[in-house]
Amino acid sequence: MSDFETEPVKGLPQRLPPGERILWQGQPSWRALALRVFHVRKIAIYFAAILVWRIAQAWHDGVPLGGAFVSSMGLVLAALLGIGIAAALAFVYARTSVFTITNRRVVMRYGAALPWSLNLPFRVIDAADMKLHSDGTADLPLSLTGHGRISYLHLWPYARPWRINKPQPSLRCLPDGVKVARILAQALKSYAESTSPDGAVAMPVPAPSPEPADTLVTPAAAAA
């Protein structure tokens, strides 16, 4: 039995408390993960460039073109193996990842060998952005307040790329990213309105709260 099968609610380490409800729940696209996180396309281009160079070099040395192709079959097999491993990892990570947005927080459950559960109450989310990709998927990186700092390694592969010093959790490769962004923006706005003293909201995100944040990065098995 996997750790995920013991979850009281899919994607959540515990049952929701009274008053909290799920607004959206989904998983990343494994194809988009393969392209942008595990770089399947770059691996293919890398091996293709080496293959062309080896065939051209062999042909220049007088080896018949057919013989040059045959002599490069080992490289072709290595390329297929590398691409296959990267694609398989993307598929496994996508299948074992669940993103949840409630009216109070964002929860990210992810991890293939070691499952992790990342709990982000709205009070530690300073801003939410969206990056739309050409394939229709989108990334939603979350900027955290000072109370919500998490290490880059704990977040990978769902960390905003190249933000090493100030890591940002990111709901990456969402097939319905535009829809999810609207749901999250409305949830953050509603939360800010409910916590604002006068009900006025200047931005659709909550301001940093002086109370201690309970942002958690815990093994899913331990949190269940």
The domain that contains 126 carries what CATH number?
A: 2.30.29
CA distance 101 to 91: 22
List, edge to edge, every strand of the sheet that includes 216-219.
Answer: 22-26, 98-102, 105-110, 116-121, 216-219
Whether residue 17 has a cis bond before it, omega within 30° of 0: no
Banded pLDDT at 216 (limits 50, 70, 90)? very low
43-49 own/partner pairs: CB under 8 Å, 24+ apart:
43/79, 43/82, 43/83, 43/86, 44/79, 44/83, 47/75, 47/76, 47/78, 47/79, 47/82, 47/83, 48/79
Please compute the mean of the pLDDT values over residues 1-26 and round it to a whole number.
Answer: 81
Residue 123 lies in a domain: yes
Domain that holds residue 140: 21-29+98-223
Residue 6 lies in a domain: no
Q: Same domain for 181 and 74?
A: no
Q: Same domain for 47 and 118?
A: no
Please compute the mean of the pLDDT values over residues 111-135 and round it to a whole number.
Answer: 89
Q: Same domain for 180 and 146?
A: yes
**What's the DSSP call for residue 153?**
H
> Could you tell me which residues are beta bridge partners of residue 102?
22
Task: With a cut of 90, say whether residue 201 has pLDDT above it.
Answer: no
Q: Same domain for 106 and 80?
A: no
Nearest to 215 by CA among 169, 183, 172, 171: 169
Residue 210 lies in a domain: yes
pLDDT score recorded for residue 73: 83
Please compute the mean of the pLDDT values over residues 189-209 and round it to a whole number.
Answer: 58
Banded pLDDT at 118 (limits 50, 70, 90)? very high
How many domains is the chain built from? 2
Residue 47 lies in a domain: yes
Task: With a cut of 60, say whether residue 111 has pLDDT above it.
Answer: yes
Q: Same domain for 80 and 102?
A: no
Residue 4 lies in a domain: no
CA distance 219 to 224: 9
* CA distances in angstroms from 210 to 93, 197, 213, listed in the order given: 35, 14, 8
Tens of pLDDT, residue by residue over 160-197, are 998 888 899 999 999 998 999 999 999 999 998 888 65
The two tokens of residue 193 are 């309105």
pLDDT score recorded for residue 197: 59
Q: Is 43 exposed, middle or buried (0-12, 13-18, 19+ CB in 10 A)?
A: middle
Residue 124 lies in a domain: yes
Q: Same domain for 57 and 78?
A: yes
Tens of pLDDT, residue by residue over 43-101, are 999 999 998 888 888 877 777 877 777 777 888 899 999 999 999 999 999 999 999 99
* CA distances in angstroms from 84 to 37, 43, 47, 77, 155, listed in the order given: 14, 10, 13, 10, 24
Please compute the mean of the pLDDT values over residues 119-141 and round it to a whole number.
Answer: 93
Least confident of 34-43, 147-156, 169-178: 147-156
Q: Same domain for 86 and 168?
A: no
Q: Which of 33 and 60 is assigned the larger pLDDT? A: 33
Q: How many CA atoms lie within 13 A of 96 on its CB side?
A: 20
Task: With a cut of 60, say whether residue 11 has pLDDT above it.
Answer: yes
Q: Same domain for 82 and 115?
A: no
Please compute the mean of the pLDDT values over residues 147-171 and round it to a whole number.
Answer: 87
Residue 212 lies in a domain: yes
pLDDT score recorded for residue 147: 65
Q: Same domain for 218 and 199?
A: yes
Residue 16 lies in a domain: no
